[in-house]
Chains A and B, each alone.
Chain A
Amino acid sequence: MRAVRYFAGAVLVFAALACVFTSFIAPADYATQFREAPSAAPSRHHLLGTDDLGRDSFSRLLYGTRVSLLLAPAAALISTLLAALVGGIAGYVGGVTRKVAMAVTDLFLSMPWLFLLIIVRAMLPLNVSPGTSVAVTFLLLGLLGWAASARVVAAEVQAIRGSDFMLQAKASGISSWRLLARHIPPNLRPVLFAQFWISIPVFILSEANLGILGLGVAEPLPSWGSLLRELESFVSFGDQPWRFVPLLLLILVVSSFQVFLSREEVQA
């Protein structure tokens, strides 16, 4: 198991270094189109071949990794914090507050977000730089993606509140605010971590799906989502296995996060 953790750690360190040194490692700019070599196979010049427009796939993967690994965790952090706030209050206060908070959560879960996001996109200005567009996309995902996590957090907080050590703490005369601030968060940490790590791949894939609605990352900036979108025509790629590298990298990085998550949970 230790070897697996080492490996996972190495993957994450490698990904982080790749993000930091992208500009030095990438053999070409992510937007440069080598039009004489569209959809080329891997070669000395293009380690992972080129995409449909002749852009170097390895460079795009590096830049895309940087975008996604920076913004997906940021979105996951926003949604987890919102979930902790709403779920924490609902689970700890209970009664009418819990009912209202859970009703709002259910309302959020039942909303047809796809259509609302279309409306949001229609309202956004058109002359938005690719960087702003990707930031707006992940911000929206973060602000809208907290509801499912909030339910889990609320259930967990309720369970903690009814636990023996909390009863004992209350009996010792510790105030409610102190209980909320000092005793609940440490016990809630594994759940919040789990929600955080789970949200990252969900947001990466959501961003890819939103791209179909024009809400994702704008051309020519790459992200994991936009790179995964290229796999829509999976039938075409049967004999081009290198096209699946972004998908493999996503799985590898998310799995590595999960390995670290289990360690965190054990320690917690």
Chain B
Amino acid sequence: MSRKAIVSAFLLLALLLPTAVLAQSQGGELRFCLRAEPKTFNPLLVEDEASETVRYLTGGVLVRVNRDTQALQPELATSWKVSKDGRTITFKLREKIFFSDGTPFTAGDVVSTVTQMMDAATHSPTGDSFRSGTGATIAKAVSPSEVTITFAAPVAGLDRLFDQVAIMSASSPKKEMAVLGPFYVADHKPGSYVLLKRNPNYWKKDAAGHALPYLNAIRMDIQANRDIEALRFRRAEIDLINTLDTDFYDRLAAAGSSSVHDAGASLDSEQMWFNQVPNAPIDAYKLDWFRSAAFRRAVSEAINREDLCRVVFNSHARPAIGLMSPANKFWFNAKLKPIPYSPDAALRRLESDGFKLQNGVLRDRAGHPVEFSIVTNSGNKARERMAAMIQQDLAKIGMKVNVVTLDFPSLIERITEKFNYEAAMLGLVNTDLDPNAQMNVWLSSAENHQWNPKQKTPATAWEAEIDKLMQAQAAALDPARRKAGFDRVQEIVYEQAPFIYLVNKNALSAVSPSLTGARPVVLRPQTYWNVEQLALKQDVIKERQ
């Protein structure tokens, strides 16, 4: 071969190589399942998980909480500043950005989005997070690339709340369907699928300068049945499962699949609580038990959480310590230690509160045998199993527990309206790291203050203290001060056990080996939080063409 031919061959190879690398990673349709129909495509009206998925994949936000590091990072805003009084935030915006339909992104779009969001007539659940006082919110475009937003009252954790605010176009005729995120909604067949296509105007590029995202499309099939979802994953019909059941995780792991991921304890918790509503239609002596912190703590100590994690979740869960999961890196109070399993200590505590164990039956001062029911929702195997295990654990200290499973609407009616129950077990799905998202649980006047909701004045001194601390941390702007206040809230909840936290489930997911770039994490959306970086292997792309 002549020298010229060799040089030509190298040149040809050099020209072809980037194309080949590019061809391996770009294009293709990612497929996964939504477990319900999205209720809306309007990012301001999102309440349900399916709509949140669409918002995450299509919405462009000013700032984004990095799901891996949990730190706030710039997106459409290059920088931002919160005023000292905590009422005003100023964003400097990225320039030369276009919506998916080609309309330019300006400060006017931010103003329009925030105005719509804070308009009471919109009824925006996203806007509710920003409402800390009465009065108007003023959004003003200082220049085409700078926006100032002033709220009626200080908003704690103001900048992080903008992670949920997808900017909509003020001028596009497509309204909310014109987006700034990596994908746009191209097709939607109700009850069947939602098809997202690559936003050709998306602004991000990878390190090599290639336009992101790598994927051409995302097809989300609406599939409520998790068994079918798992089967489809095994048949390689879908590429990922965001939250995987323990059973299927183990099945896939046992089959030697490298596609399953256990990212560790998630923010989600499972808990039980006793009814403390004063006028609840239950026996007065039982209400006295339930109002006793000693009784609640004894129950907590008598539950073997390690066993719950090992048997029910096959070790894919962690004994819960308190109201904040250790997965929440900043807000978790690391001083709190796991509640030790000790039936003996539980009995001692009960005896100090007037209870007596007689012939295997625990009785109160008046001689009433301790018997109560735990209600939970039917169809949730993990909860049913946990209830059965708690039933046996509490039998060891002489308590008789009847496990009752109810359909969800009946259960909700009992625990929120009629209060005709004794103890309940449910889970809490936490999507927000900030404790402000839990104000509707911890304020004694709140509706979700499950053990005794909507109190006119706090029923107990410790609830009054929690009210004070939660309001103080919400008004404070210094993160350290807020943390100190919320640490104390966690300590009170630990001591009083209004909720008996059982486990924090691990974030289990499955990602097909044909998908590259996936790094599952504990925060939602666990598997596709870095959707721009995800790519399908070439053979899968070809197969799906």
Contact = CB atoms under 8 A, between A and B. Distances in A.
Q: A and B bound?
A: yes
Interface of A: 31, 33, 35, 38, 52-54, 118, 121-122, 126-130, 211-214, 218-220, 233, 235-236
Interface stretch (B52-60, B210-218, B323-331, B398-406): B398-406
B385 A127 contact: no
Interface in B361-407: 371-373, 375, 378-379, 381, 384-385, 387-389, 391-392, 402-407
Interface in B187-226: none
Kindly state the interface size class of chain B when it binds its partner.
Answer: 35 or more
Interface string B399-433: 00011111100100110000011100000000000
Contacts of B389: 33, 35, 53
A212 B379 contact: yes
A220 B387 CA distance: 10
Given A126-B422, A212-B379, A214-B404, A35 B307 contact: yes
Given A52-B385, A235-B230, A214 B402 contact: no
Given A33-B388, A235-B227, 8 more contacts: A31-B392, A35-B310, A35-B311, A122-B414, A126-B373, A130-B402, A211-B405, A235-B251
Nearest to B403: A219
A52 B387 CA distance: 13
Contact of A118 (B227, B311, B410): B410
A31 B389 CA distance: 10
Contacts of B284: none
B231 interface: yes
B283 to A, nearest CB: 10
B384 to A, nearest CB: 7
A121 B375 contact: no
Contacts of A31: 392
A239 B318 CA distance: 28
A52 B308 CA distance: 11
Contacts of A236: 247-248, 251
Q: Dominant SS at the B interface?
A: helix
Contacts of B422: 126-127
B391 A219 contact: yes
Nearest to A233: B247
Closest 7 CB pairs of A and B: A214-B405, A126-B373, A214-B378, A122-B410, A219-B403, A214-B406, A219-B388
Contact of A52 (B231, B311, B372): B311
B289 to A, nearest CB: 14
Interface in B256-314: 307, 310-312
A129 B373 CA distance: 10
Interface of B: 227, 230-231, 247-248, 251, 307, 310-312, 371-373, 375, 378-379, 381, 384-385, 387-389, 391-392, 402-407, 410, 413-414, 420-422
A62 B413 CA distance: 37
A204 B416 CA distance: 34
B373 A54 contact: no
Nearest to B388: A219
Contacts of A129: 402
B227 A212 contact: no
Contacts of A35: 307, 310-311, 389
16 contacts: A33-B392, A35-B310, A35-B389, A52-B312, A52-B381, A53-B312, A122-B406, A126-B402, A126-B420, A211-B378, A219-B388, A219-B391, A233-B247, A235-B230, A236-B247, A236-B248
A127 B392 contact: no
Given A35-B307, A52-B385, A126-B375, A121 B402 contact: no
A235 B391 CA distance: 28
Contacts of A211: 378, 405
A127 B420 CA distance: 11
Contacts of B231: 235
B392 A213 contact: no
A121 B410 contact: yes
A198 B378 CA distance: 28
A166 B291 CA distance: 73
Contacts of A122: 406, 410, 413-414
Contacts of B413: 122
A127 B421 CA distance: 9
A105 to B, nearest CB: 28
B307 A127 contact: no
A53 B379 contact: no
Interface-central residue, B227, B247, B404, B422, by most chain A CB under 10 Å:
B404
B403 A218 contact: yes
Nearest to A117: B407
A52 B402 CA distance: 19
Nearest to B247: A236
B372 A127 contact: yes
Interface-central residue, A33, A54, A127, A236, by most chain B CB under 10 Å:
A127
B251 A213 contact: no
Contacts of B247: 233, 236
A29 to B, nearest CB: 11
Contacts of A212: 378-379
A15 B230 CA distance: 38
A38 B311 contact: yes
Nearest to A220: B388
Contacts of B378: 211-214
A129 to B, nearest CB: 7
A220 B391 contact: yes
A212 B377 CA distance: 9
Interface-central residue, A38, A53, A128, A130, by most chain B CB under 10 Å:
A53
B227 A126 contact: no
Contact of A213 (B307, B375, B384, B407): B407
Contacts of B310: 35
A239 to B, nearest CB: 9
A35 B304 CA distance: 11
A212 B384 CA distance: 11
A218 B311 contact: no
Nearest to A34: B311
A237 to B, nearest CB: 10
Contacts of A53: 311-312, 385, 388-389
B86 to A, nearest CB: 46
